[in-house]
């Protein structure tokens, strides 16, 4: 589905040093993804001990500690795009890292429950902001042919952050030190801040600000010599064509905004975080012992990381669409298998328990190879430069809002319709998502962001046409 290679793209074969440079810069920036994963994952284990320290918290008070982060993330995602378009990508990452440090230290040293809630909202601002600025920055700095893999360092970092948080929760559970569980996140936050001080601003953003000399200096480090002038000319040309944020609702952008928002919503309403946040409780409820449930959870987290590594490797080889479509089909299979295993009742034993766990593992692995990384990658690729930050903000915000709705309603849903009904519902929604992706999601592999922008706005070829004429 990708466009045939253009002569310019052929020349776009950075040498080892360019590759090393962008790999290093992507890895530093992806610490933002690590913090995203860690801060969303750590709370499940920490809650067990927080509730004791504050003299017993009600379920609602516990839910607030978890979900206020998501509310903060909606706000952070909304603000960060506008800020990134205005002050630049690099300064936005620096600001985000500073907010992370502030939030996690406040959580670690909190004197009271209300202050902990404030800290969770502040951490949420940073998580929401990081979730859009990291793919945005990496996407603009790396050369097209590596973009899929390097932008997906972000998803790899998210999944690693989740896994590390499970392990740290487990490791600190004997000392019950929930303050340290929160506070340890200050380490990657400080690393992100200091690492970013040595990174360059995004060349695309510099050109939109008329700072072409600086953009050229940055590009000299991350592109082949022959590509630099052409890229600057292209960026200049497309950035002159648009009117600014009002463009977000212009007829030629609206369908793309829809694609980003629906990818975001589908990423959440197909149920990933009901597994990420609740798997141990789900498995305990189905009759697993404590340690079997925790072990299955760690294995699930490891599968999530492992399959994301496979995705990083494959995204620039086979393209985004094949992974998205195969992965989403796999998610539907996994969910339906899990649902079937609950048909005989909510208490699982013997073979049925194994089938349920295999279904969930298969589901997570399939998410990790497709919809997990592809959502964050595509929203960094499909929007016109001038409004890229703002459009990504809208999609990211939709992701956090959908996450919030699913997370807050999941346990109620489970009580109302049981495991069978809940998992069949997620399976069905996954099939709807698959049909939508099949029809509307464009392939972006191997093309420069400028080429994608041109293709998606004028007389595109299939499957891009489906998007542009929606």
Check residue 287 and report its DSSP letter.
Answer: T
271 binds ligand BGC (CB under 6 A): no
Is-contact 29 188, C-beta < 8 A? no
Q: Which is closer to ligand BGC, CB of 26 or CB of 200?
A: 26
CA dihedral defined by 439, 73, 38, 356, rounded to 10 degrees? -50
Among 130, 374, 366, CA closest to 262: 374
155 binds ligand BGC (CB under 6 A): yes
Q: Which is closer to ligand BGC, CB of 44 or CB of 155?
A: 155
77 binds ligand BGC (CB under 6 A): no
CA dihedral defined by 428, 429, 433, 436, rounded to 10 degrees? 80
Phi, psi of 422 (to 5 degrees): -65, -50
In angstroms, give the least distance from the CB of 272 to ligand BGC: 5
202 binds ligand BGC (CB under 6 A): no
Q: Which is closer to ligand BGC, CB of 208 or CB of 393?
A: 393
In angstroms, give the least distance from the CB of 358 to ligand BGC: 19
CA-based end-to-end distance of the chain: 19
Q: Which is closer to ligand BGC, CB of 273 or CB of 341?
A: 273
Mask for 391-420, x = binds ligand BGC (CB under 6 A): --------x---x-----------------
Q: Which is closer to ligand BGC, CB of 153 or CB of 193?
A: 153
325: preceding bond cis by omega (within 30 degrees): no
Is-contact 32 151, C-beta < 8 A? no
34 binds ligand BGC (CB under 6 A): no
In angstroms, give the least distance from the CB of 234 to ligand BGC: 30
CA distances (Å), origin 358, targets 307, 339, 352: 15, 12, 10
Mask for 347-376, x = binds ligand BGC (CB under 6 A): -------------------------x----
In angstroms, give the least distance from the CB of 37 to ligand BGC: 7
Q: Which is closer to ligand BGC, CB of 77 or CB of 232?
A: 77
Binding residues for ligand BGC, how many (CB under 6 A)?
13
Residue in 44, 67, 297, 304 binding ligand BGC, rule: CB under 6 A = 304
Which residue in the block uniquely carries the two structure tokens 């991350």? 222
Q: Give residues with Cβ within 8 angstroms of 347, minimum separation 6.
A: 286, 287
Q: Which is closer to ligand BGC, CB of 77 or CB of 385?
A: 77
Q: Give residues with Cβ within 8 angstroms of 163, minimum separation 6.
A: 37, 41, 298, 301, 302, 304, 305
152 binds ligand BGC (CB under 6 A): no
SS3 content of the chain, % helix, strand, coil (to 5): 80, 0, 20
In angstroms, give the least distance from the CB of 335 to ligand BGC: 15
Among 9, 93, 135, CA closest to 388: 135
The two structure tokens encoding residue 356: 């349920």
In angstroms, give the least distance from the CB of 260 to ligand BGC: 13
273 binds ligand BGC (CB under 6 A): yes
Check residue 251 and report its DSSP letter.
Answer: T
158 binds ligand BGC (CB under 6 A): yes
Q: Which stretch binds ligand BGC (CB under 6 A): 145-153, 271-279, 417-425, 426-434?
A: 271-279
272 binds ligand BGC (CB under 6 A): yes
Burial grade of 461 (CB within 10 A; 0-12, 13-18, 19 or more): exposed
Question: How many Cβ atoms are within 10 Å of 307's Cβ, its own excluded?
Answer: 23
Q: Indicate the residue whose CB is closest to ligand BGC.
A: 372
Q: Which residues bind ligand BGC (CB under 6 A)?
A: 40, 155, 158-159, 162, 267, 272-273, 276, 304, 372, 399, 403
């Amino acid at each position: 589905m990708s466009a045939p290679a253009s002569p310019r793209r052929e020349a776009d074969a950075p040498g080892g040093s360019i590759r090393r440079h962008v790999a290093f810069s992507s890895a530093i920036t992806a610490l933002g993804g690590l913090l995203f994963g860690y801060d969303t994952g750590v709370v499940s284990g920490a809650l067990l001990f927080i509730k004791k320290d504050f003299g017993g918290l009600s379920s609602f008070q516990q839910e607030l500690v978890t979900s206020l982060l998501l509310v903060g993330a909606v706000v952070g995602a909304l603000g960060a795009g506008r800020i990134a378009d205005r002050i630049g990508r690099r300064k936005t990452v620096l600001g985000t890292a500073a907010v992370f440090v502030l939030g996690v230290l406040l959580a670690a040293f909190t004197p009271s429950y209300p202050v902990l809630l404030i800290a969770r909202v502040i951490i949420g601002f940073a998580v929401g902001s990081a979730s859009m600025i990291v793919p945005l920055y990496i996407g603009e700095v790396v050369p097209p042919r590596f973009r899929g893999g390097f932008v997906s360092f972000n998803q790899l970092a998210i999944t690693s952050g989740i896994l590390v948080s499970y392990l740290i929760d487990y490791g600190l559970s004997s000392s019950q030190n929930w303050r340290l569980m929160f506070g340890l996140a200050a380490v990657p936050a400080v690393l992100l801040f200091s690492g970013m001080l040595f990174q360059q601003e995004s060349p695309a953003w510099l050109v939109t600000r008329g700072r072409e000399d600086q953009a050229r200096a940055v590009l000299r480090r991350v592109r082949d010599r022959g590509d630099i002038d052409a890229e600057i000319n292209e960026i200049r040309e497309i950035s002159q064509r648009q009117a600014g944020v009002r463009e977000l609702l212009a007829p030629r952008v609206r369908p793309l905004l829809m694609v980003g928002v629906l990818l975001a919503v589908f990423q959440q309403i197909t149920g990933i975080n009901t597994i990420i946040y609740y798997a141990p409780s789900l498995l305990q409820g189905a009759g697993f012992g404590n340690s079997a449930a925790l072990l299955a959870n760690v294995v699930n987290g490891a599968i999530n990381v492992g399959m994301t590594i496979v995705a990083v490797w494959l995204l620039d080889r086979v393209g985004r669409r094949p992974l998205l479509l195969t992965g989403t089909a796999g998610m539907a299979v996994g969910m339906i298998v899990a649902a079937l295993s609950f048909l005989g009742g909510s208490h699982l034993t013997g073979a049925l328990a194994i089938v349920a766990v295999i279904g969930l593992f298969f589901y997570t692995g399939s998410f990790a190879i497709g919809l997990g990384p592809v959502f964050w990658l595509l929203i960094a690729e499909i929007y016109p430069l001038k409004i890229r930050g703002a459009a990504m903000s809208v999609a990211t915000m939709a992701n956090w809002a959908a996450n919030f709705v699913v997370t807050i309603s999941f346990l109620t849903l489970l009580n109302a319709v049981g495991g069978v009904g809940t998992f069949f519902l997620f399976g069905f929604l996954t099939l709807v998502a698959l049909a939508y992706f099949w029809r509307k999601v464009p392939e972006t592999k191997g093309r420069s962001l400028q080429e994608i922008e041109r293709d998606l706005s004028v007389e595109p070829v299939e499957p891009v046409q489906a998007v542009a004429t929606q």
